[in-house]
């Protein structure tokens, strides 16, 4: 991605101070989503990057990963798989817990989400909007592996590098914006 395109994407993301609590500078991607130029540049960049990856599926993390993942899957003519918060999927699932600052949360995926006709492992790209502490992404990559697929990379629109979330994830990581 060239620096001009990256600037257009970065400038389209609104910063909201003190949300959800004092001291947090929240990065609001909704302003990028409704900016047709910025969103198109982002998806075009991701299509260009991943078109030769031999992917079978795109998996998106609940909920903002669904937006980027579904758009990318459509452009690459691939299936999209949602990785959801516990209790949201209707069929048999596998779940994985991850630690929060105060307690735990859990994500899940359908047990048959990543099927290939030739019985080989499906190649999956995981995508989400933000890599912060890495708990959710780590749980998602574990789920992908547990249901018999190969997570080839985890992609994030933004990464907060000072939180060291990438150290929790056992797969290559690609982040478009690093702070």
- Which of 10, 49, 64, 106 does the annotation list as catalytic? 64
**Is 179 in the active site?**
no
Q: Determine the Cα–Cα distance for residues 49 and 43; give it in Å rounded to an integer.
A: 10
How many angstroms separate the CA atoms of 32 and 119, rounded?
Answer: 39
The CA-atom distances, in angstroms, between 167 and each of 90, 105, 107, 138 are: 32, 19, 19, 9
111 has which bridge partners? none
Catalytic residue, candidates 37, 101, 146, 179: 101
CA dist 51 and 5 (Å) reads 19
How many angstroms separate the first and last alpha carbons of the chain? 17
Instruction: Give yes or no: 101 in active site.
Output: yes
Catalytic machinery residues: 64, 101
């Amino acid at each position: 991605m060239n620096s001009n395109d990256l600037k257009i994407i970065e400038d389209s993301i609104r910063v909201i101070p003190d949300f959800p609590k004092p001291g947090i500078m929240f990065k609001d991607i909704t302003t990028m989503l409704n900016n047709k130029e910025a969103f198109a540049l982002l998806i075009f960049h991701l299509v260009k990057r991943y078109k030769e990856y031999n992917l079978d599926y795109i998996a998106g993390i609940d909920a903002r990963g669904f937006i980027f993942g579904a758009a990318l899957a459509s452009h690459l003519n691939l299936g999209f798989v949602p990785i959801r918060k516990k209790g949201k999927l209707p069929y048999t699932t596998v779940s994985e817990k991850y630690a929060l600052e105060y307690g735990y949360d859990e994500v899940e995926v359908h047990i048959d989400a990543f099927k290939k006709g030739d019985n080989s492992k499906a190649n999956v790209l995981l995508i989400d909007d933000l890599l912060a502490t890495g708990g959710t992404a780590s749980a998602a990559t574990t789920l992908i592996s547990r249901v018999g697929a190969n997570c080839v990379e985890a992609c994030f629109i933004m990464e907060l590098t000072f939180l060291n979330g990438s150290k929790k994830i056992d797969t290559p990581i690609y982040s478009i914006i690093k702070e």
